[in-house]
Amino acid sequence: MDTFGGRIRGQFNYGDVLKYQFAINERSALSLRGMSPIYEMNLGFEGFEFGLDAWQTKPGGWGLEKQRVRTGQNAIHESPGQGVNYPADAEVIITLREGLDLSRLSQATLSLWHFFAFGEGDYGYVEASRDSGQTWSALSEPLTGSVLKYYQAEFSLDELTGPGNDNVLLRFRLRSDASINGPGWFIDDISILPIRTAVGREEEMIPDEVMLFDAYPNPFNAQTQFQYSLPVEMTIRLSIMNTLGQEVAVIENGVTPAGVHTIRWDGRDRLGHAAPTGLYFYRLQTPNGPMVKKLTLLR
């Protein structure tokens, strides 16, 4: 199979949709001709379908994620293939290899889809640099806690536009401490938009269904955490049960607003006594019915 390359010249902007087609005319006795389908390319879009050639990473760090993706076959994750949780006491970074030219824009937005689950004391940072990576500035407050479903986040790049901003680098950085860690950070479908759609923060995500998410760490010793989501305000009861079906502890009971809620359990029963080693269940009761997941406590 022969491979051909070329360059398309023109005045293009981020967000433009470039349509192109190949015409082939073989200059031989057969005079074979052919025409390709029409292809589309969204300029300023990264879906990681062609790998990580445009990004700088270190061995053992960020890589392609093929299971938990939003679209296509690939997303990125800071610790792919390393089990459930990211490493403790680590800093894991992925950086755009070549800078963005935002010098002809007066406003711009970084849009991406992601979800994350960070342990207490661990943070995710979205950062930019205009001096070839010598200094970095955060595009928002650090990400913390958990949102366990892909949602769209937007970050203003307005301060990085205009003359002189022809080499703007972006990076994603996860910083963990030595205590509880979590499943990590999953990112897909990054876009650079030549418009102002963000204010430098992420909008609150209201889920569209009741969900109960996996606990982490699990098994656990000192403390574990898990999340549940509510599409509307409703009365709930969240409790810990043993294998006999007995209620060991009640964590929440009452009217709870819509949103994603993070819960922690320190392994103690309703009297404050340490629960023994064993298998437990955490149960979310809502007007829609019960939801139950397993939890293992190791002393």
Residue 157 DSSP symbol: -
Pairing of strands 75-77, 184-193: antiparallel
Say how far apart CA 122 and CA 239 lie, in whole Å. 27
User: What domain range is 282 assigned to?
Assistant: 211-297
Say how far apart CA 142 and CA 8 lie, in whole Å. 39
Question: Does any domain span residue 114?
Answer: yes
Residue after which a domain boundary falls, among 135, 161, 193: 193
What is the DSSP code string of 170-184? EEEEEE--SS---SE
Count other Cβ atoms within 10 Å, centred on residue 268. Answer: 13
How far lies 206's CA from each of 63, 133, 198, 211, 257, in Å?
29, 36, 18, 12, 10
Confidence of residue 227 (pLDDT cuts 50, 70, 90): confident
pLDDT at 198: 44
pLDDT at 200: 42
Say how far apart CA 16 and CA 297 lie, in whole Å. 53
CATH number at residue 242: 2.60.40.4070
pLDDT in tens, 19-72: 767 777 776 666 677 777 876 555 568 899 889 999 999 888 999 999 889 999
pLDDT at 203: 46
pLDDT at 20: 63
Which residues, including other chains, have CB under 8 Å from residue 73's CB and lie 6 or more apart?
49, 66
CATH number at residue 150: 2.60.120.260
- How many structural domains comprise the chain? 2
Based on the domain organization, do 167 and 235 belong to the same domain? no
Average pLDDT value for residue range 228-248:
93
Based on the domain organization, do 113 and 227 belong to the same domain? no
pLDDT in tens, 188-220: 999 988 876 544 444 455 667 888 888 877 888
Tokens representing residue 1 in the block = 């199979």
Based on the domain organization, do 56 and 129 belong to the same domain? yes
Based on the domain organization, do 217 and 244 belong to the same domain? yes
Based on the domain organization, do 52 and 139 belong to the same domain? yes
Question: Does any domain span residue 40?
Answer: no
Based on the domain organization, do 121 and 164 belong to the same domain? yes
